[in-house]
């Protein structure tokens, strides 16, 4: 639209606009042109705002009363002093000699591409404070992030979003709020710096336009939101826990009653649901959701902690397209000045059972049922191992409930939240709860074996002792051995209560054959001879072990069954040439070992 500028000696101009991301277009272009024809005049001068090119390489917002120049985002402030004095030629024209054009001068003009939602012109040079108030008004109205050097101000020049917040949370700032002096009444807002409407905050119910929103805000009350600038994605997800994204938002309400403002809140979580659908089979999709985590104790100085002990966690109330929706959300209810929030992928409901410490002789115990996520109120039911209900709590408002005097044994806890999400957890009440070892009946040497007694143990601070044939063998949870035999592991908790498990370590059939076929050693024992006859022999029939050694010495004779269990052990004193007789009553394959002071000889015998 054209208007006369001949009588303006000084002007301060604000313009809010969007522009296409084309290479030949820039933020703003302004220039005087002459010699054109418009209406009744042939020598009119015109001053045009367009986005076709930029006269300056860097367009900066400057405050004349200060040397510092502060760059701004999509709000541009222009200061012109006597800008038309050198261009007046005559008094011809539709509105005077010179005309200002905003956007296209006519429908066929190619100089402007984009849109200008608001244009303000003041016929004076505004002070820094006046400009900051106007820039803040425009930034709140259009979801524009100002430079990190400045804060946001109301019409009384009170700082309603502190510049110090921008050190950590100066990205994608937007707000809702009301300022009657400036004519601001923004009931719903989002950042203009995101392409997918990442966050939308509104008072009352969200409408198509701000003007259609009939909710009310008190004058000089605001809710601001800005983020830390980090990625809003998760590369690796642990689906047994909470997985917060890296992006964290700061909320700063302003106004005496700002903690009573009830808002709706929308977040574009499409990429997080896509992550769940990519990682998990379809039958598990419904077990997980995207949660909002709110840290009420955080401030503007640094990112807060979002572990379970620090936050409030809420599942969305609805889904609208790509957005998850939270209703009836209030901010800074503790009046600390700030809240922080983020979003996380997590199960819809997590239930843990904690057993109180028990003495070794106790026959009853107490438990805490701890609930993470889920929507209160909760119904909690405790069933014994026969599926009989032994205790319960209904409409429980908090996330921890204690049950007392449960007899030792196995139980099931069933937790149902207000949205009918159900989780079932088994637990044990016992002085040795969590100390189940679960060893196999036997382990086969090949040529050795490693056994981890802690694989199924969930109790903390447990000590382990291993015994072989009831003789102490080693300590520690992991046993590594190449010796066959009967083993026992004893677990002890900090209260001195013990649990134990037993197993056999056996030699494979192939190893028995290998041992029995070994050649006798050469050198000093080259003439040593060990023979067994008759072999095979019958059960309960005597057989002979003939021993021929070079010198007299003590010899130990050991017989192992196929389970590597030692069934006979005998020591012979000072022998060199000796025949030892024995009987075995059960048929099968056995290994006869002759142990001298330097060697061990093994022979296989078959009992039919």
Q: What is the pLDDT of residues 179-191, one digit of tens each?
A: 999 999 999 999 9
Angstrom CA distances, 20 to 17, 26, 77, 117, 119, stand at 10, 8, 20, 15, 19
Q: Which residue has the tokens 């149902």?
A: 416
The pair of structure tokens assigned to 237 is 């997800």
Determine which helix (DSSP H) or strand (DSSP E) holds 167, and give its type and residue range.
helix 166-169
CA dist 394 to 335, 376, 381, 416, Å? Answer: 32, 11, 8, 9
Give DSSP secondary structure letters for 357-416: P--TT-SEEEEEEEEEES-SSEEEEEEETTS-EEEEEEEE-SSEEEEEEEESEEEEEEEE
Helix (H, G, I), strand (E, B) or coil at 129: helix
pLDDT at residue 470, rounded to an integer: 85
The stretch 503-519 carries a mean pLDDT of 64
What digits encode the pLDDT tens for the residues 234-293?
Answer: 889 999 888 999 999 999 999 999 999 999 999 999 999 999 999 999 999 999 999 999
pLDDT at residue 337, as a whole number: 93
> 């409930």: which residue's tokens?
401
Name the percent of the chain in helix, strand, coil, to the closest 5. Answer: 10, 45, 45
For residue 61, the cross-strand partners are 70
Q: Where in the chain is the domain with CATH 2.60.40.1930?
A: 520-607
What confidence category does residue 394 fall into, taking pLDDT thresholds of 50, 70 and 90?
very high
| Other Cβ atoms within 10 Å of 432 Cβ, number | 20
CATH architecture of 349-429: Sandwich (2.60)
On the 0-12 / 13-18 / 19+ scale of CB atoms within 10 A, 438 is exposed
The larger pLDDT score, comparing residue 125 to residue 297, is at: 297
Q: What is the pLDDT of residues 119-138, one digit of tens each?
A: 787 877 788 888 889 989 99
Q: Which has the minimum average pLDDT: 15-29, 177-191, 361-375, 561-575?
A: 15-29
Domain ranges in the chain with CATH number 2.60.40.10: 349-429, 442-507
Q: Note the CATH number of domain 442-507.
A: 2.60.40.10
**pLDDT attached to residue 353:** 96
- Grade residue 91 by pLDDT with cuts at 50, 70 and 90: very low
How far apart CA 368 and CA 489 sit, in angstroms, is: 30
Give the DSSP letter string of 245-277.
Answer: -S--EEEEEESTTGGG--EEEEEE-HHHHHHHH
- Report the mean per-residue pLDDT for the chain: 82
Q: Could you tell me which of 535, 536, 516, 524 has the C-alpha nearest to residue 600? A: 516
What is the spatial distance between Cα 101 and Cα 544, in angstroms, rounded to a whole number? Answer: 121
At 132 the three-state DSSP class reads: helix
Fold for domain 520-607? Immunoglobulin-like (2.60.40)
């Amino acid at each position: 639209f054209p208007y006369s500028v001949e009588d303006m000696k000084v002007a301060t101009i604000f313009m809010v606009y969007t522009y296409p991301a084309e290479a030949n277009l820039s933020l703003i272009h302004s220039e005087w042109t002459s010699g054109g024809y418009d209406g009744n005049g042939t020598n009119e001068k015109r001053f045009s705002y367009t986005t076709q090119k930029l006269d300056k390489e860097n367009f900066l917002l400057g405050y004349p009363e200060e040397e510092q120049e502060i760059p701004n985002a999509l709000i541009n402030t222009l200061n012109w002093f006597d800008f038309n004095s050198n261009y007046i030629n005559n008094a011809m024209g539709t509105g005077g000699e010179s005309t200002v054009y905003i956007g296209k001068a006519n429908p066929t003009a190619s100089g402007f591409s984009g849109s200008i939602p608001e244009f303000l012109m003041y016929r004076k040079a505004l002070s820094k404070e006046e400009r900051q108030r106007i820039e803040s008004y425009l930034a709140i109205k259009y979801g524009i992030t100002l430079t990190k050097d400045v804060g946001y101000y109301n019409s009384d020049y009170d700082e309603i979003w502190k510049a110090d917040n921008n050190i950590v949370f100066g990205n994608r700032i937007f707000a809702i709020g009301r300022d009657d002096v400036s004519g601001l009444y923004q009931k719903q807002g989002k950042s203009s710096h995101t392409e997918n409407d990442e966050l939308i905050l509104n008072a009352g119910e969200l409408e198509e336009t701000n003007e259609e929103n009939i909710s009310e805000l008190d004058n000089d009350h605001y809710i601001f939101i800005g983020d830390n600038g980090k990625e809003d994605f998760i590369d690796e997800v642990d689906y047994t826990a909470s997985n917060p994204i890296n992006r964290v938002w700061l909320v700063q309400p302003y106004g005496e009653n700002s903690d009573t403002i009830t808002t709706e809140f929308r977040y574009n979580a499409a990429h997080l649901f896509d992550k769940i659908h990519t990682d998990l089979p379809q039958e598990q999709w419904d077990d997980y959701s995207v949660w909002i985590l709110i840290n009420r104790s955080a401030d503007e100085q640094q990112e807060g902690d979002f572990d379970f002990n620090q936050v409030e966690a809420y599942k969305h109330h609805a889904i609208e397209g790509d957005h998850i929706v939270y209703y009836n959300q209030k901010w800074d209810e503790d009046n600390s000045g700030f809240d922080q929030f983020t979003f996380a992928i997590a199960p819809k409901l997590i239930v843990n059972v904690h057993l109180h410490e028990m003495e070794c002789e106790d026959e009853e115990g107490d438990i805490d049922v701890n609930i993470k996520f889920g929507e209160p109120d909760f119904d909690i039911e405790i069933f014994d191992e026969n599926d009989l209900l032994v205790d319960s709590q209904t409409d429980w408002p908090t996330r921890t409930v204690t049950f007392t005097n449960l007899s030792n044994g196995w139980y099931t806890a069933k937790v149902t939240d207000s949205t009918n999400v159900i989780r079932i957890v088994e637990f044990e009440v016992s002085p040795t709860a969590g100390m189940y070892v679960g060893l196999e009946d036997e382990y086969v040497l090949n040529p050795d074996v490693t056994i981890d007694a802690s694989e199924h143990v969930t109790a903390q601070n447990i000590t382990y002792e291993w015994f072989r044939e009831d003789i102490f063998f080693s300590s520690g949870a992991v046993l590594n051995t190449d010796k066959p035999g009967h083993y026992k592991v004893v677990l002890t908790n900090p209260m001195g209560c013990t649990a134990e498990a037993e197993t056999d370590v056996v030699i494979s059939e192939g190893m028995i054959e290998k041992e029995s076929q070994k050649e006798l050693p050469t050198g000093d024992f080259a003439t040593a001879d060990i023979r067994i006859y008759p072999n095979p022999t019958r059960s309960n029939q005597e057989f002979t072990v003939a021993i021929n050694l070079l010198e007299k010495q003590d010899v130990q004779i050991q017989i192992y069954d196929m389970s590597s269990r030692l069934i006979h052990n005998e020591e012979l004193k000072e022998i060199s040439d000796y025949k030892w007789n024995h009987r075995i009553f059960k048929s099968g394959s056995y290994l006869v070992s002759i142990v001298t002071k330097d060697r061990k000889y093994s022979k296989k015998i078959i009992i039919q």
